[in-house]
Structure 1
Amino acid sequence: MTQPVRRLVLVVEDDPVISETVSRRLEAEGYAVARASDGPAAVRAATEQRPDALVLDLMLPGFDGLEVCRRVQAERPVPVLMLTARDDESDILAGLAVGADDYLTKPFGMRELVARVAALLRRVDRAAELAQQSPAVHSVGDLVVDTGARRCTAAGELVHLTPTEFDLLACLAAAPGQVLTRERLLAEVWDWPEASGTRTVDSHVKSLRAKIGAARVRTAHGVGYALEAPEQP
């Protein structure tokens, strides 16, 4: 019987202890693992080995994780779990802006890291399945979200979104005016069923607002978010 192909995860971490620990745990969970310890090596490994996902440290020798993510995503979309030593919103938003899908703040538990990687890969599989289904076009005011073409325009202007930002916007656009809870968004966009990652939702919403306009995404405090057409002056 043919053995299933193992998913390849590229672990990019300059701390040898963390790199070894993460790699061994991922291998124990059935993943194939490649490793890199600096920015240039990470980009080369991503190009040559074409991993299914990256676990990417923000601070690296050579050039940092932001530049790694930028270069890798420019070549082809790859799900990225970013690791950051600081719980700093500016670092997190910078990572999301260049295409990171999720983040963990050090120190983190191996169980959570493995769960996040698995969720990222499930999300890729689900996106491929949805691409085979009938596309939809959602219009909310002058905002148009085309799920088939994966294009978004606002007032006729193309808006450049990362894959995760687009998925988040498409989820909100499918139910305009309806408040979607953080937990629901986390489950539907990130395929992460537990509530421990709700800050990830908040960070992505902030990044999305910067691109489509803050007034388009309403916050229901303590609950979640809704996509609405901004009121005309």
Structure 2
Amino acid sequence: MASAPADPAPIRLLLVDDEPSLREPLADYLVRQGFAVRAAPDAARARSLLVEERPDLVLLDIMMPGEDGLSLCRHLVETRELPVILLTARGEATDRIIGLEIGADDYVVKPFEPRELVARIRSVLRRATRAPVMTEEDALYEFDGWRLDPLKRRLTDPEGTVVPISSAEFRLLVAFLSHPRQVLDRDRLLDMVQGREAHLFDRAVDNQVSRLRRKVETDSRDPRLIQTVWGGGYRFAADVRRVVQAADRPGG
């Protein structure tokens, strides 16, 4: 008798918030929605939990005692490439912009409807796991001595050094490399990179472009690859090649 297929493993969330009145009932709600949740009251505890287990997504409060959420967000994006949704107070507009610039994937303003948060979680995870559209399954992007492997999400510079790249930066770079020398306005970039369900604003695109320029430009203040088209948006100004990797063959 064939055994029933095993249930898929639940999505693992790390919830970091110093307010027990929000953290505990929200964790309970998310568990009832089918998520596996670990909760931390501060960044120090969150870092300890991250050593034990890698979550699929982090829900992160900005204002916390000790290390704040922006500092922890930077660490998560740069060293672990984890999707992050910021939980922010209504008056923290500047912090939200900084968080998006650092590489957070989305934000939710307190007080929020838990159902909205669940929708944002699923949306961010869909974007994070969405495979890039490629004409050849294992084709690489090459531009100006750089190389991007979309399957491994690995960016290497002309010297062959791997350059860490966040999920948001990866999606933005793929958008540019898929449309070289074309002017892409902010609305189109939002659709291609974030999706309209993220409810982000034009300024977030500018911040993400600035972050990406710091990774790939010799001088980010005088960009040569990602050019600003005043009144129009941005244009990737280098030639892009698609290179198919040779498959490994036995005895080769």
Q: TM-score range by the shorter chain?
A: 0.7 to 0.9
Secondary structure at the aligned position of 1:66 is classed as helix
Counterpart Cα distance in 2 of 1:221 and 1:104:
31
Map 1:42-191 onto structure 2 (within 5 A).
Answer: 42-72=46-76, 76-85=80-89, 86-88=92-94, 92-93=97-98, 96-97=101-102, 99-127=103-131, 133-139=137-143, 142=144, 144-148=146-150, 150-153=154-157, 160-190=164-194
Deviation, structure 1 residue 37? 0.8
1:226 to 227, 235, 238: 235
Question: Structure 2-normalised TM-score?
Answer: 0.71
Residue 194 in structure 1 maps to residue 225 in structure 2: no
Unaligned runs of 5+ in 1: none
Deviation, structure 1 residue 129? 9.5
Deviation digits for residues 31-68 of structure 1 (CA, Å, limit 9, x no counterpart): 22111111111111122132111001122223222333
Unaligned runs of 5+ in 2: 239-252
Secondary structure at the aligned position of 2:165 is classed as coil
Counterpart Cα distance in 1 of 2:11 and 2:198:
26
What residue number does 1:208 align with?
212
Is the contact made by 1:183 and 1:194 (CA closer than 8 Å) also made in structure 2? no
Is the contact made by 1:12 and 1:57 (CA closer than 8 Å) also made in structure 2? yes
Deviation digits for residues 45-97 of structure 1 (CA, Å, limit 9, x no counterpart): 122132111001122223222333344456633211123331106x6336643
Identity score, percent: 37
Q: Superposition RMSD on alpha carbons, in Å?
A: 3.4
State the one-letter code of the partner of 2:146: V
Counterpart Cα distance in 2 of 1:144 and 1:108:
42
Question: Structure 1-normalised TM-score?
Answer: 0.75
Deviation, structure 1 residue 197? 1.7
Secondary structure at the aligned position of 1:209 is classed as helix
Counterpart Cα distance in 1 of 2:145 and 2:110:
37
Counterpart Cα distance in 2 of 1:156 and 1:45:
33
Deviation, structure 1 residue 203? 2.6
Counterpart Cα distance in 2 of 1:22 and 1:50:
20
Deviation, structure 1 residue 146? 1.7
Aligned length in residues: 223
